[in-house]
Amino acid sequence: MEPDTATRHRCRRQLHVFLFPFMSPGHQIPMLDIATLIASRGVQTSIVTTPLNLSRLRSALHRLAHLPITVHPLHFPSAAAGLPEHCESLDSLPSTLMSHSFSRAIMMLHPQGDDLVRQHQPDAIISDQNIPWTAQIARKYGIPRLVFHGTSCFSLCVSDSVSKYKPHENVNSDYKPFLVPGLPEPVHVTKSWMPSRFFRHVGLQEFFAQFVEAERNTYGTIANTFYEIEPKYVEHYGKISGKKIWPIGPVGSVEPDSLGMAERGNRASVNVDRCLSWLDSKEPNSVIYVCFGSLCTFAESQLVEIGLGLEASNCSFLWVIREGYGNGIAIGDLGERVKARGLVIMGWAPQALILNHPAVGGFMTHCGWNSVLEAVRSGVPMITWPLFAEQFYNAAFVLTRLRIGFGIGGDTGLEWGREQEAGVRVKRSRVAAAATRLMGGSESVREIRQRVRSLSELAGAAVSEGGSSHVNVDRLIDDLLMIKERLAAGQPVNEL
């Protein structure tokens, strides 16, 4: 017999879940969203992070004070790992060449994490993939570990098949497409797209290898996706991993209003009211939003080409440039020349809020999965320009499976530690042509817009009450309650 609602809520209040987000905005923001979804069901939820990262969450946590969410701070060993002071997040590193030192600091957090779990005795751990030692802690204390990957199931499946079958080993060109076997559909990629390529000069191979071992001690996967957008790959990933999978996204859709969307992530570098006022002055679907994420480090020459291309397009645009980059005189001059139709933001911007605005009709993006989902949720078509990691796989999914945009980026991306050597990969003429095409009214673009609007409706239905993602959050919690009850009764639970 199913428990009644009151009994279920009472049981959920007795459940305690620890969340370990990776120290990078693209990982931390969706993990806070996951914490919110779980806590909104009455589950005691604890976020384990460092003081600097906590400061970025403070406004959002204050707004969520009515939910059972607590924070446990960790001391980040910057000096011991050879990092400058206050480098507690991947986007705060002076150079991607310091990524190996950052990974060393992550691994040095293990004893503190162990102490917290021992003291508070949570019933489960939800861990970012990039914190592999949580698998050892979960095994030590006999509790389930669930992993959060932060990307699409499509990309996870492609990466798994490439690793398993190694189809690239017989291909003699970095740019010649090859078929990836073992997938539900024919998928072609190139060696120049493979994620390992972009990190080969920063010494992260050993760190990445630990992820694979941690997966063996993982109960299941929480995915920031929704079943309807990639049903074949949700099911396929469940089969190849041999683990449970709960697609609960788009998790950012938990934000109920513009204030909530504005407070996701860092403090905005532009006055939010000013940003909204500028967008309010534009016609519907007339502005192209340009942003390449919190970790992009384009060469100055490439930034200039982007700016001049946007200027030449005659389109209205809102361009976000990562803090510390694009400070040259050419970018400043551009801002002055196009201030009537262009807004340039140096630093952090409230992306979800911007994409949701009716004036925004296109998104030039690096295809980080958070950005792809936010575009889909907002019904905004994309110009894809992947840069590193699994972003090329995400772009392929957007272009060939969803068909909700078109590409502009080069054949390969930016290798970490060598970004400045890349120089100009995409010239101003291509930027201008892509912006003009997307913001035009051709039949092909109208079809793209219709497809992304349909996906937006599916995403909204998935997170609404009774939708697939909404139901999966409840199933996740019920599974964790079941495991807790079995462990309390001394019954074995497989794959902890």
Please list the active-site residues. Answer: 27, 128
Asked whether 393 and 193 are in contact (CB, 8 A), the reply is yes
Q: Tell me the HSE value of 426 on the side-chain side, using a 13 A CA sphere.
A: 26
Strands (E), 351-409: 360-365, 382-384, 405-407
Asked whether 110 and 136 are in contact (CB, 8 A), the reply is yes
Q: C-alpha angle 76/77/82, rounded to 5°?
A: 135
φ/ψ (deg, to 5) at 251: -65, -25
DSSP codes of every residue in 57-79: HHHHHHHTTTSSEEEEE----TT
SS3 content of the chain, % helix, strand, coil (to 5): 50, 15, 35
Task: Please classify residue 413 by burial: count the beta carbons closer than 10 Å to its beta carbon, then call 0-12 exposed, 13-18 middle and 19+ buried.
Answer: buried
Q: Which two tokens stand for residue 59?
A: 């406004």
Rounded Cα distance, 344 and 331, in Å = 9
The torsion defined by the Cα of 296, 301, 304 and 308, in degrees rounded to 10, comes to: -120
